[in-house]
Amino acid sequence: MKKLFFLCLFTGLYAFGFSQNLIWFIENSKFGYVHKTSGRITITPQFTYASQFKDGIAVAAVGNHLLSSKYGFINEKGKWLIIPQFNAADNFSEGKARVQQNGKWGYINKKGSFIIQPQFALSYDFKEGLAQASLKNNLWGLIDSSGKFVVQPEYYSITDAFAGLTCTQKNMTDTWEILDIKKKTSIKTSFTGMHAFADSLAPARDTSNKWGFVNTSGAWVIQPLYTNARSFSEGLAAVEKDYGSWGFINKKGEWVIAPQFNRSGSFTNGLALMEKDADIVYIDKEGVIVFSFKR
């Protein structure tokens, strides 16, 4: 396989294009796709940006520069399902994809028609029928599939919904609360940071700036021992033992993959994208490097 160069786009860490069959790569600053096992190029490099495939659909952008590119959606043969017409876009989730038009975010269906008109300063994917959205002043709430706010945009931070719950921070200096979305009741905590619940656990940071995991009642299940942590995905959570030393634990807090990576993603379809020294590597759930590329 040719040497592949990977790029960080639209995420805080590394996004990687891994589906059941395809993995994206960059050649001469253009994105294309190769088959994950044979290394055969299946879609020639031609896009200024391309996302991972999800349910056979991926975001792709064309143009002279990334910032001026137009975004649309392709199938696994590289054919346009929705022609490039948006200023930005993300993968479909629960039948809807967030797209940006004229500086505002809305949602389309798989025919490319708007089902929620562009109106948000920023918004994210739907999970459990709700999505994080902000109208102005960087204040966040949760919208339903009609675009109506179910949790009003009055929070400095808010997480994805899980089992009818979300984690909220009213102001930047406030501690976090666990909000019951329907009952409008909340559990106050002393946590200075939280991420979204997954597998009934949420990463939380205590007053000493250490991260652990709490249950939906806010009680510690995995003690705060880590300098950073991410939500569970496919049964494992990435945690940072010391700064720049990431590994993975299970729900018992046991190390499954020893801390050894400089940066970490989460598991998707059995692989996680990591940074180790000068290399970008894909690992499986045993910590075995499946693919390795130079930065």
Q: Do 187 and 178 contact (CB within 8 A), yes or no?
A: yes
Distance from C-alpha of 182 to C-alpha of 276, rounded to nearest angstrom: 43
Give the DSSP letter of residue 234. T
Please say whether the dihedral angle defined by the alpha carbons of residues 14, 216, 150 and 148, taken in this order, is positive or negative.
positive
pTM, two decimal places:
0.89
Helix (H) or strand (E) holding 103: none
Distance from C-alpha of 23 to C-alpha of 232, rounded to nearest angstrom: 23
Distance from C-alpha of 139 to C-alpha of 46, rounded to nearest angstrom: 37
3-state secondary structure of 277: coil
Query: Please, what is the Cα angle at 19 between 17 and 20, to 5 degrees?
Result: 155
Locate the domains of the chain by residue range. 233-295
3-state secondary structure of 166: strand
Q: What is the mean pLDDT of each run of 10 residues along the chain (295 residues)?
A: 34 45 81 80 95 92 94 97 98 97 97 98 97 94 98 98 98 97 97 98 98 98 98 98 96 98 91 86 89 64
Q: Any idea which architecture 233-295 has in CATH?
A: Beta Barrel (2.40)
Task: Tell me the C-alpha to C-alpha distance, in Å, between residue 259 and each of 22, 83, 240, 254, 285.
Answer: 28, 43, 7, 12, 13
pLDDT at 13: 39
| Paired residues of 72 in beta bridges | 60
3-state secondary structure of 112: coil
